[in-house]
């Protein structure tokens, strides 16, 4: 791509920085917690229409999605929570590109921990343009707006692309992405490359672990605490299970190492985790608890499958039960719920990844240069791999995602928009001299 176009794109973005910041602030002020994304999606549809794009606003079809093994059912009704897909048609003969982002955010609780109210989009001075605080500012409304302004910059600079550029604003990524990005693929949206502009500034994310949520239910026998010997305490029967889970986590941590998953934090030497997130038993001090539940999140690495880790969990649970006279006769059961996904691993040698990496290196917007790495959490990029589309995640810099005082560095939003615009021109191809 000619250097003059890159300079023109940069100049346009800098001249319209106030507009970008205002649009981002307006989006952050919409409290689009998972399950309530409708108003934010309507806002994004309006932004896309203003660019003269073909805009498809559609609600996911649960009946269709349930036929797909990768579907994660959030349990939320899809009515009033559409996905929004906008297409800028190319002239033909080029490669297509999807720029994807989610409008949903996690709960801002506890509100008492915030210095700045989570839905007021407060801007604090610092750097070139300051920091914008708010729930979703970093994860990932900044990425959504970077995608939008990358396209706006290309249009304003008189560019015509050969390949189609597709913008997606999706729902419920935070709840598994089943009714969002997966629904877009199920509707037929494909491209020669897919970028989720998630907040990965110093790394280009090309892999993530598999994730499985499970609930272990231990049944006991309730009794009055004054006659506790007549009952069976489910909480105490669950203790050997908790110890097994702790030891299994350590065993997996020692045995399973995947280079790409450890590049971001090589000193940790951790590719996967087994986290006991919830333990509950009983509801009254004077009652022997007749039921205990353990909820866990188990991550697993490329080379393992969801079926394999399920089988091993169940086998280890059965082994623990054999050591308890009560559990032998009343075996604990496993219920799977919520998040479940196989590991995702994008070939880092793929031209899509290499050309994007080269684009960031040439622009120099990220210092030190970003590395190609994987993460120990899940992303919507995994759906692209299921449909044969090369994918990566990269986007604006900030801090506090999923925590109090989440914020984004506004200069990085402009730099991200520039990088995405330059790469789109390079990847999709220029239809005419620009």
Mean per-residue pLDDT for 96-115?
97
Q: What is the pLDDT of residue 433?
A: 55
Residue 114 to residue 117: CA distance in whole angstroms: 6
Q: Give burial (CB, 10 Å; 0-12/13-18/19+) of 100.
A: buried
Is the domain covering 3-208+343-428 a CATH 3.40.630.10 domain?
A: yes
Mean per-residue pLDDT for 25-29?
98
Token duo for residue 284: 């009254």
Is pLDDT at 17 greater than 60 in this prediction? yes
Contacts of 147 (CB under 8 A, 6+ apart): 99, 100, 101, 167, 197, 417, 420
Could you tell me which residues are beta bridge partners of residue 208? 344, 375
pLDDT digits (tens, 9 = 90+) for 386-412: 999 999 999 999 999 999 999 999 999
| All structural domains of the chain with their residue ranges | 3-208+343-428, 210-341
Residue length of the chain: 434
Mean per-residue pLDDT for 2-28?
95
Residue 237 to residue 284: CA distance in whole angstroms: 18
Q: Which of 194, 256, 204, 213 is nearest to 387 (CA)?
A: 194
Is pLDDT at 36 greater than 60 in this prediction? yes
Active site residues: 104, 173
Q: What confidence tier does 3 reach under pLDDT thresholds 50, 70, 90?
A: confident
Mean per-residue pLDDT for 228-253?
98
Could you tell me which residues are beta bridge partners of residue 387? none
CATH topology for the 210-341 domain: Alpha-Beta Plaits (3.30.70)
Question: What is the CB neighbour count within 10 angstroms for residue 124?
Answer: 12
Q: What is the pLDDT of residue 324?
A: 96
Is pLDDT at 2 greater than 80 in this prediction? no
Is pLDDT at 86 greater than 60 in this prediction? yes
């Amino acid at each position: 791509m000619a250097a003059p176009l890159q300079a023109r794109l940069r100049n346009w973005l800098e001249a319209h920085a106030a507009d970008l910041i205002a649009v981002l602030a307006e989006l952050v002020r919409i409290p689009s917690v998972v399950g309530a994304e409708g108003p934010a999606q309507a806002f994004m549809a309006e932004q896309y229409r203003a660019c003269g794009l073909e805009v498809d606003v559609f609600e996911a079809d649960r009946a269709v999605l349930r036929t797909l093994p990768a579907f994660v059912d959030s349990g939320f009704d899809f009515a009033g929570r559409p996905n929004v897909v906008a297409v800028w048609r190319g002239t033909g003969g080029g490669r297509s590109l999807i720029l994807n982002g989610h409008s949903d955010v996690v709960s801002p609780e506890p509100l008492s921990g915030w210095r700045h109210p989570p839905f007021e989009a407060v801007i604090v001075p610092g750097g070139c343009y300051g920091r914008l605080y708010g729930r979703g500012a970093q994860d990932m409304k900044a990425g959504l707006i970077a995608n939008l302004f990358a396209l706006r910059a290309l249009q304003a600079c008189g560019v015509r692309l050969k390949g189609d550029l597709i913008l997606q604003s999706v729902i419920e990524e935070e709840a598994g992405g089943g009714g969002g990005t997966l629904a877009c693929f199920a509707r037929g949206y494909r491209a020669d490359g897919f970028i989720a502009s998630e907040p990965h500034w110093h790394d280009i994310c090309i892999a993530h672990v598999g994730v499985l949520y499970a609930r272990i239910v231990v049944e006991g026998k309730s009794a009055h605490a004054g006659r506790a010997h007549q009952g069976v305490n489910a909480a105490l029967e669950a203790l050997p299970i908790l110890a097994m889970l702790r030891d299994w986590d350590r065993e997996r941590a020692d045995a399973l190492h995947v280079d790409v998953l450890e590049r971001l934090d090589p000193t940790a030497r951790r590719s996967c985790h087994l986290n006991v997130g919830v333990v509950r038993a009983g509801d009254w001090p004077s009652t022997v608890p007749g039921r205990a539940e353990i909820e866990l999140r188990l991550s697993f690495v490329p080379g393992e499958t969801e079926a394999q880790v399920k089988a091993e969990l169940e086998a280890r649970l059965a082994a623990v039960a054999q050591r308890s006279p009560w559990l032998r006769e009343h075996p604990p059961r496993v219920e799977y719920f919520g998040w479940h996904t196989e590991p995702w691993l994008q070939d880092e040698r793929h031209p899509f990844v290499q050309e994007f990496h080269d684009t960031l290196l040439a622009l120099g917007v990220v210092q030190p240069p970003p590395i190609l790495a994987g993460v120990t959490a899940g992303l919507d990029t995994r759906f692209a791999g299921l449909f044969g589309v090369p994918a990566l995640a990269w986007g604006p810099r900030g801090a506090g995602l999923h925590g109090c005082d989440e914020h984004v560095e506004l200069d990085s939003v402009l730099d991200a928009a520039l990088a995405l615009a330059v790469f789109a021109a390079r990847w999709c191809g220029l239809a005419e001299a620009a």
